[in-house]
Structure 1
Amino acid sequence: MTILKKAPGLLTALVAALVGVAVAPSAASAADRDGTCDNGEFCYYYNSNQAGSLSDFTDSEDDYGTAQPSCYEFKSAGTGQGVCVKNNAASVWNRTGKTVRVFFNSNFGGASQDFAAGAKGNLNATLKNNNASHELVSTDTPTGCKTDGTNSTLPTTILVYRVSLGRVDRVDFKTYVKNVLPNEWITSWPDASLEAGAMAVKSYAWYWALHSSRKTSGGVCYDVRDDTGDQVYKPSSAQASTSAAVDRTWSTRMTRSGNILQAHYCATTTACGAWVDGNWMSQYGSRDLANSGSGYQSILRHYYSDVTVS
């Protein structure tokens, strides 16, 4: 079973900790998606030459969605207002501090076009009205086995062992979390449960990005497997409800004694057999607590002892 499966640490480590500390919003996340192209945002326009309705983004996005009410839409007044952004943009303005790469396919795949920080431009003939995802590209993306994450800074990428494919992919960290959560939590559960799950999935992956020394049989290093040996990762599986939970909690961290540790979770408090109080979260329990009115931070503190969530 891929849903409500214990995380990898469930099998290998019985005493694990979840950490949490708050992350200050970056400049790029300070503005709201309000149909105004603010400083720190990447903006699509329905027409060429920055004309027509626009849609503003504060971060990378691996899939815009294809239909209302779940798609990202052009928000401002003008031609195209209300139309889904996917495969409907003609020009951009990059007001972030990073290069933004626009992709033909979802999940940052296929042909691409780069827009430097501050640039305005039209999508080329391949990408015009064929835009499916975009990524803010760091100029210091880690290579090899290296991570740029620390106990106080989220990694930008994570090394995922694609077991059935026999290869290791370097995946944008937020994209990874968004494409794990719907495979580990029930997407129709209450927001607070999904938010608690987003925190657990993120913290588990963060821990391994910092500490993994694992290698494939061919000697290639990786942080996490894409199956139930760790957390189930399926590209392009992100759902609106779970992605929103990831976005809402992205600037929050959990810490225990200042360190990021593994966040374990399992279906119920008795299902895993090796349950350790204070280090494991019950997925169904998170649903029940959310239904009774608990917020995600209260849920996390209920299951994970001595953590700071801020």
Structure 2
Amino acid sequence: MKRPWIAAMALFAVLLWGGAVVVPSAHGQVYAYHTIYNTPLPSVIHVAIRANNDPRGQILWVQTVGFQEYCSDVLPNEWFSNWKPEALKAGAMAVKMFGWYHVLHPVTIDGFTFDVDNTTNFQEYKYMSGRFETDQAVRNIWPYAYVYTNGGIGPLDFRAGIPNNANWMYNHSQKMAQWGSEYLANAGMNYIQILGFYYTGRTLLQGP
């Protein structure tokens, strides 16, 4: 006899205390809830390289990249390096958490298994494209994680948004407006306040 309430209670315990649990699914698979308390920061990430950095391009190979190096080579392609430092730090945290989440949820496409690709299907990655300002932002946020209040690791999604605007349509939408992060930084917000403007149910914690 199936007892769906058991799985529900187990998942509730995870959400409440931030532990790890394995829950049987309808297909015999398992669901593991990842938190910073039971999941180490990745040392590497597997990046599928698509031809011409085209989201529809053929996958040529999968490259293993140091995780911090990956974040440094994504940020200047997603946030302008001349933006305010607090906007760059908000972006660096989004890039880090987005990548971390996808390391935990790899995909297989066209016979290649990988965590992310190098295009805007995920985050735009270009080898050795880091800039001083964006590298500094990545280093500044590296000891921390912006996670659910129980420590759960989730992606920090983002969109371009509208220039010179806070992009209120993304307020507490679980998506950060990139242009909005710069606008709010210019208005005097620090990066934690910027993240809090767009994401709810999350907090900044010391990383693992």
TM-score norm. by structure 1 comes to 0.48
Q: Deviations over 1:179-220 (max 9, x none)?
A: 0000000110000000000000000010000122x1131x22
Identity of aligned residues (%): 36
Name the CA distance, whole Å, in 1 between partners of 2:170 and 2:182: 18
Match of 1:46 in 2: none
Name the SS for the 1:211 alignment partner: coil
5 Å-filtered alignment, 1:173-252, equals 173-212=67-106, 214-217=107-110, 219-252=111-144
Instruction: Give the letter aligned to residue 200 of structure 1.
Output: A
> What's the counterpart of residue 204 of structure 2?
309
In the other structure, the counterpart of 1:268 is 161
State whether structure 2 residue 35 is matched by structure 1 residue 151: yes
In structure 2, what is the Cα distance between the partners aligned to 1:295 and 1:309?
13
Q: For the Cα contact (< 8 Å) 2:76–2:131, is it kept in 1?
A: yes
* Residues 1-310 of structure 1 mapped to structure 2, 5 A cutoff: 151-152=35-36, 153-164=40-51, 166-212=60-106, 214-217=107-110, 219-256=111-148, 257-268=150-161, 277-310=172-205
Corresponding pairs, count: 157
Which letter maps to 1:169?
Q
Tell me how large the CA RMSD over aligned residues is: 2.0
CA distance in 2, matches of 1:267, 1:292: 18
Q: Amino acid of the residue matched to residue 309 of structure 1?
A: L
Alignment-mate amino acid for residue 250 of structure 1: W
Q: Using the TM superposition, give the Cα deviation of residue 288 of structure 1 relative to its aligned residue in structure 2, in angstroms.
A: 1.1
Residues 225 and 186 of structure 1, relative CA distance in 2, 3 Å threshold: same
Instruction: Give the match's secondary structure for 2:112.
Output: coil
Q: Quote the offset at 1:177 in angstroms.
A: 0.2
Maintained 8 Å contact 2:171/2:198 = no
Q: Output the CA distance in 1 between the equivalents of 2:171 and 2:154.
A: 15
Structure with larger Rg: 1
Bigger shift: 235-244 or 162-171? 162-171
Shift of 1:276: 8.2
The answer to whether the Cα contact below 8 Å between 2:170 and 2:177 also exists between their aligned partners in 1 is no
Q: Render the CA deviation track for 1:45-75: whole Å, top value 9, x for unaligned.
A: xxxxxxxxxxxxxxxxxxxxxxxxxxxxxxx
Q: Which runs of 5 or more residues in structure 2 are unaligned?
A: 1-33, 52-58
Amino acid at match of 1:160: V
SS at match of 1:221: strand
